Each structure stands twice: as structure tokens, then as C-alpha cells.
Structure 1
């Protein structure tokens, strides 16, 4: 007797699920400048600063210039530039356990990256050796719409060739998970690899 699959595609976020940034140096800089830890990240990801980059409307260079200008309202321009540089150049790591689980899932169903990303995503994937990892990549900067807008989930399901209701969605942000659930996807909030492991268990056995 064949046990039916719980879903027919996995739609997975990239940053803070697969790729992680080490902001230790940035945090040290912020403390040295008398700023609260996380100040730079908050400014960089403020909607008015990052949204144009995540929709492919401006380059990464223009995004960082906008972030620098916004930070310069709090610290001298030279310090703002140092903070943004530390943010951009933060070391990255890939979670091999997450990749292993997703590769095992690919033996059964397509895996699609669904990420709010800049126009540099393809270069980033190539640098990490992940150009051909996913079956499809849906980047907000390339499709002109980002999570939690319903359209990006629809595009990802279309790329996978699977109805929305037959997709598992994995993301580290609650608002993105809730948006997916509202569309009928099975959605999991990622906090660590055990969340993905549990979500894939019915598929992997």
C-alpha cells in the first residue's frame, strides 16, 4: 500500500534558514559607537530603505548608500559607512544540516527557494556553490513582489507545478508564515533545524 505524500513541493526561505550572517564585528562596532546592538540591521531593513532593493528597483550599491544616509542621522557619516560596510561584509555560513534535509526532500518533491532578495542573489548563490541546488529560485528582486504578498507564493507554486494547497512553506518570519497559511499552504516557522526536520518527517519517513 502506497502512503500518500503530505505535500508535493517544498517552498523554502533562504536567509536565516539556509544562509546565516555572523554580525559579531558589527555588534562590537555598534557598542563602541554607543549604539544599541541591532541598530544597523533595523535601519538597513527599514521598509523605506530596503524595499526598493528587494523589489529589484535599485542596486545593492544604491541600497547601502540609502542605509548609510539613514544611519548618518544618528552617527557621523564616516561611522555610518563603517557600520554599513561591516553589515555587508559580515561572514556567512550555510547550514549543512538544513541543506542535507532539503536534498533528501528533493528525492521526492521539487524544492523551490522563495526569498526576499536583491539583484545580487544569483552571485551570492554561485559564491556559496548553490547555483544548481534548488529546482527553482523565486527572488523578489526578479519577480517584482516580495513576501508576504500572496503573489510570490503563487509564483513559487506555479514554478513547482503544484497547487498552493499541496505545498510546504518554511520561513523564519512569522508574518510570512501566516500569509502562507492564509493561502492554504502547510507553513512552518523555522527557528532551528529541528523545525525543518519535523516538517519533513512525513515525507522522508
Structure 2
């Protein structure tokens, strides 16, 4: 039996969801209501995921009138990045078992540059054959270009890859491209990945 090559999302698959406490801390620092801040955080996120500078992203979130100094910018970036580094122990255990079975997966994550750098420095990076980040690709899932880049990096045909993500828009796009997909809902697929 030929096992599929594996391509995995990071946020809310390997990591736990962004914590409410971190979102509240960011909102308080910005002096914006938590609900308004959350809406702005996500509304302007895609360009940041595609490589926009931290200053441009956070200035957009905070509004043109907000005086964003270097120290304040660093604080927003730090709180944001730290919020995404809370790994799910079940995911780490599953990745470890994958490696023990001879499967070294690849990562494909929508992540801005500061988060991409932090993820690449995590100990779990050693459990991946390679890591692909939207900021470095200049495009974000569900863009088909992300899957083209993944197949090239993995030196594999789309049909030889299984893609795991928690967002149906992303798994739908991968399926349209020709990959097998697994919509993550808290449980990982069993082995082997045929």
C-alpha cells in the first residue's frame, strides 16, 4: 500500500485557537471594544498573512489616528504571536507517532512573517519535512497557488497528497486541485494514510 504524503495546516489543527485572553489584552491595549477589535483583527488579516509588514497591519487594525510607536508595535506583535503558539498536546502526540511510522509531514499555514518565524523555531519543526507559510509565498489559502507551491516543494502530484485543514474553504480548494482532503474537527485520521 502506498501511503499519501501529508500536508497539514497549523492554526487550530496543530495549535489551539487564539485565546480570548490574548484578544482581550490586545483590545485593551488598543482602547477598542473587544468585539470591534476582533472584527478588525480578522477583517485586515489576509494582507498580513500574505506578507504585509507588521506596522502596516497593526496601523490598519488600530486606525489611522492611533500613534503606533516602535515599542507599542513590538508589544502587539508579541501578544499576537504568543497567542498562536499554544500547541495542542494531542496534535504533538499524533505528529510524533507519524514520524515513528515513517511519515514526515509538511506544513502549509496562513501566517504573517513574525508568526512564521516563531513556528519555524518551535521544537515541533523537527517533526516536519518542510514548512510553507503564506507570508513567504506571497499568497494565502484557499488560493490555488498555495497548493501549486506545496506540490512543487513536496515533489509530489496532487493526487499523492492528503491535506488536513480545519476550514472547509481550504479543503474544498485543495480537493479541486486534486488532493485528498481531511476536514479537521478535533480528531486526526488514522494510519496508514492510504
Give the TM-score category using the shorter length: 0.7 to 0.9
Mapped partners of 1:180, 1:63: distance in 2: 28
> Does residue 15 of the first structure (1) align with residue 11 of the second (2)?
yes
Q: Residue in 2 aligned with 1:129?
A: 123
Kindly state the Cα deviation for residue 128 of structure 1 after the two structures are TM-superposed: 3.3
Structure 2 CA distance for partners of 1:184 and 1:25, relative to 1, 3 Å = closer
Query: Which residue among 30, 48, 51 is the counterpart of 2:46?
Result: 51
> Does residue 41 of the first structure (1) align with residue 38 of the second (2)?
yes
Q: What does 1:45-124 align with in structure 2 at a 5 Å threshold? A: 45-46=42-43, 49-56=44-51, 58-69=52-63, 85=76, 88=80, 91=83, 92-106=85-99, 107-124=101-118
In the alignment, is the contact (CA less than 8 A) between 1:112 and 1:137 conserved in 2?
yes
Larger radius of gyration: 1
Kindly state the Cα deviation for residue 200 of structure 1 after the two structures are TM-superposed: 3.1
> Does residue 148 of the first structure (1) align with residue 142 of the second (2)?
yes
Gapped runs of 5+ residues in structure 2? none
Gapped runs of 5+ residues in structure 1? none
Q: Residue in 2 aligned with 1:201?
A: 191
RMSD (Å), alpha carbons = 3.0
Q: Aligned residues, how many?
A: 183
Mapped partners of 1:191, 1:129: distance in 2: 24
Residue-by-residue CA offset, 1:7-30 (whole Å, 9 max, x unaligned): 421110011111222223535887
Mapped partners of 1:11, 1:188: distance in 2: 10
Greater displacement, 61-70 / 124-133: 124-133
Residue-by-residue CA offset, 1:93-138 (whole Å, 9 max, x unaligned): 1012112212322343331110111112343125533343311111
Structure 2 CA distance for partners of 1:137 and 1:126, relative to 1, 3 Å = closer
Structure 2 CA distance for partners of 1:41 and 1:172, relative to 1, 3 Å = farther
What TM-score comes out, normalization by structure 2 length?
0.78
Q: Residue in 2 aligned with 1:185?
A: 179
Q: Secondary structure at the match of 2:185?
A: coil
In the alignment, is the contact (CA less than 8 A) between 1:116 and 1:141 conserved in 2?
yes
Q: Residue in 2 aligned with 1:169?
A: 163
